[in-house]
Amino acid sequence: MTPRRLAQLFTVVSGLATLLALLFASLPARANEEAPITRLIEEWLSSPHGNYHSRSFTYWNKEGEVPTNCATCHSETGFHDFLGVDGSAAGTIDRAGVINSPIGCASCHTSQAHALDSVRFPSGVEVTGLGNSATCTVCHQGRQSGAAVTKAVAELGEDDVSADLTFINIHYAVAAATMHGADTASGYHYPGKTYAGRFQHVPSANTCVACHDPHTTKVAEDSCMSCHRGVGNTRDIRTRHTDFDGDGNIQEGVHGEIATLHGKLYEAIQTYAQAILSSPIGYAKGRNPYFFRDTNGDGEISDDEAVRDNQYRSWSPRLLKAAYNYQVVSKDPAGYVHNPAYLLQLLHDSLESLSSAVEVDMAAVRRP
């Protein structure tokens, strides 16, 4: 049977699985109570991994297949290919993935997935002893690292614009990259600085599935509140009393500290691009390649400006490093839980670097 025919067959089977799930879900309550698999399927279908309409699994529909370099995480067939479930060599991708094939039951419930215990990150570092977090880590580690930034800037002067530089995007949903911090060097690390490694939480909340339901991916926030008492939600949690962002507020959660520093870094990036490079820059969330020329200098990126032909091209090493770290923080919205110290360090050091070229008030900002 040809690979294309196998892909077509898989699509048909996936469709039948969905129909069966919907059929089970429509059965009377007693029937549902007698079939716990029905509840699990319903939970999975409500999750991002089971969303057949998500751009994560439909972006390549016009092409008819998921490109090889994207297939591992954007199709179940690709994930099987990576694990070697299909008989191919494990750790590599040999063929394009099937469109409309989300990460389903068969992605993680295979002997190969259960046996997986180590994952190699984009920095080249291999992390072992991951246990049941290994399958999550495969797709939530990002696709770039600080090493890519170091290689790109090479021996260029910090403020020299180079046509050879382009924005480097860590990718999306990079929770594992944040969690392991300095151990996998996913952010750009400034020379002479030390960075927080793997964030070690309490034993009962120290793995992916300890905090996230493996089927819905929802966070078990009630368990957080059992220890972190006196707060309304996880964003209000903080374990240190230092005012990292310099706004004088030590009552806010560490999420607020990170958010304020993130905003300050964006302002500094815009100030630097205008004052030093004479080329205004802006960021458009969700619009690849994210950084664009601010053609009218209003500090905002409109829909007309957020187009590929208008992507920012006046990169200097200093700007690229700061922008990369800005994106690292942007692409893990829950980074304040996964490794707050690491993100605060990346933001602080990026701001500090820009402050040596333009005016940035660092007097009250503190580094963890």
pLDDT in tens, 268-294: 999 999 999 999 999 999 999 999 999
Mean pLDDT of 121-140: 97
- Would you call the peptide bond into 122 cis, given omega within 30 degrees of 0 as the criterion? no
Provide the pLDDT confidence category of residue 334 given band limits of 50, 70 and 90. very high
Q: Give residue-wise pLDDT tens across range 69-107.
A: 999 999 999 999 999 999 999 999 999 999 999 999 989
Kindly state the average pLDDT of the residues 160-171. 98
Segment (H or E) for 355: helix 340-355
Kindly state the average pLDDT of the residues 160-165.
Answer: 97
Are the beta carbons of 78 and 66 closer than 8 angstroms? yes
Residue 27 in tokens: 């059965």
Q: Which residues contact 204 (CB under 8 A, 6 or more apart)?
A: 210, 223
Residue 20 pLDDT > 50, yes or no? Answer: no
pLDDT value at 24 more than 80: no
Q: What tokens does 197 get? A: 């490694």
Q: Is the pLDDT of residue 112 over 90?
A: yes
pTM (2 d.p.)? 0.90
- Phi, psi for residue 238 in degrees, rounded to 5: -150, 145
The span from the CA of 121 to the CA of 118, in Å, is 10
Confidence label for 33 from pLDDT (cuts 50, 70 and 90): low
What are the DSSP calls for 137-190, one per residue?
A: HHHSS-S--HHHHHHHHTT--TT---TT-------S--HHHHHHGGGTT-SPPP
Mean pLDDT of 122-126: 97
How much is the mean pLDDT over the chain?
Answer: 91
* Longest CA span, the chain: 70
Tell me, what amino acid is at 158? E
Q: Ramachandran region of residue 217, left (φ > 0), alpha (ψ -120 to 50) or beta?
A: left
Q: For the chain, first and last CA: distance in Å?
A: 58
- Whether 4 has a pLDDT exceeding 50, the answer reads no
Whether pLDDT at 30 is above 60: no
pLDDT at 9 over 90: no
CB atoms within 10 A of CB 63: 10
